[in-house]
Amino acid sequence: DEDTYWTYRKNSKYGPNYWKNVKTSSDGGGGDPIFEYFMDGKSDNQCDSNGQSPVILQETHGLICSDDHQQITQRGDHDFDEIQFDVLPHVLRARFKEDDENDSSNRAPRTDFSDLSPFIPAVFMDLKIPSEHYMMNDLGVLEYFPGEIQIAHHFKEENKIVMTGYQLEDFILKWEDIHDSRNHMCEFGTTSNYIPKYKPRSRRQMEWIWGDEDGVPGTADWDLYKLLPTVYYYGYDGSFTAPPCQEGVVWRFLDLPLHISIKQYNRLRRVLLSGDQRDNQCRRSSKAYEWTVNRPLQWNKNEIFRCTGFAWSPKYPEQWCGKWDESYHGSFWLNDACG
């Protein structure tokens, strides 16, 4: 349907410059359904408004960080094997089991963002290749990265989505299994003889990978927030980066990258960007263009702030020993914590 189709092909009439014409679910439906769902029916297309994402992350001159502490996290009570994985035409997605507000022993991963929200649940995690945001580093050099992880938290009271841009191996295996089992079905008509790459792990193995539950509320066998490579970030108000590009998204973008191996990166590229990606009807489905699924940089009227080590010290400095350079944000506390 021409009214609902969109692509990343820059010169196409369906490309990013024309996303403003994509119909959304309330009037026929072409946008990303999870974005529309979590905005409580506000599914009007906002791709041509003036508070869009992604952007170049460079702090607005004179703007200071108003946050007074790092994210405080809870691992929740839902185990890794309860995550719903999917390979979509424009993103690799992991959707977390819904939070039960009435049962304190049945919670999703949660975090408390300083000066923004109480503890709010994580709802999904997307992986894009390469990164959509660019970052101006401390030397004044513009950087972008091989990929970008976007973790979405839903703040129901104010109907906002908080996106945090962050061991990835089990995620990769799950996404590979979806991609490869679909192709197996399309070729052989069955998945009965497909051998999954992902194998469930014992509780002890999960504890070895993700750490135990000591000091982090929750009983889950994994911890989403172990993926965070730092507690410092840029912040700004923006939008989702795919149609319907809804605003009301509060970005907290970490200023250090998560490291993975070249082999892991190439496996992710194969699943998300290769031409053999298929949907459940065996149709070629990838929206990738020139090996990317990235929206071009957008103009955004909102200011950008940055929270560094001069705003606060990390809550548990010892956990960063050997992970941060001593010059990182003037990490003077590392000497005391790490010896």
Model pLDDT for residues 12-54, shown as the tens digit of each residue: 999 999 999 888 755 445 667 676 555 555 557 899 999 999 9
pLDDT at 295 over 80: yes
- What is the model's pLDDT at position 32? 73
Contact in structure between 119 and 281 (CB atoms under 8 Å): no
The per-residue pLDDT of the chain, averaged, comes to 87
- Helices 169-188 + 262-273 axis angle, to 10: 40
Contact in structure between 235 and 226 (CB atoms under 8 Å): no
- What is the model's pLDDT at position 45? 87
pLDDT band of residue 333 (cuts 50, 70, 90) is low
pLDDT band of residue 321 (cuts 50, 70, 90) is confident
- What three-state secondary structure class fits 238? strand
pLDDT per residue over 67-118, tens digit each? Answer: 888 999 999 999 999 999 999 999 999 999 988 878 888 999 999 988 787 8
Q: Model's pTM, two decimal places?
A: 0.92
Q: What is the mean pLDDT of residues 135-150?
A: 90
Dihedral angle sign, alpha carbons of residues 100, 105, 107, 113: positive
pLDDT per residue over 236-268, tens digit each? Answer: 999 999 998 988 899 999 999 888 999 999 999
Pairing of strands 134-136, 56-57: parallel
Cβ count near 14 (within 10 Å): 18
- What is the model's pLDDT at position 211? 85
pLDDT band of residue 293 (cuts 50, 70, 90) is very high
Picking from 64-68, 75-79, 294-298, which range would have the lowest pLDDT averaged per residue?
64-68
State the DSSP H helix or E strand holding residue 163, giving kind and residue range, or none if neither. strand 160-164
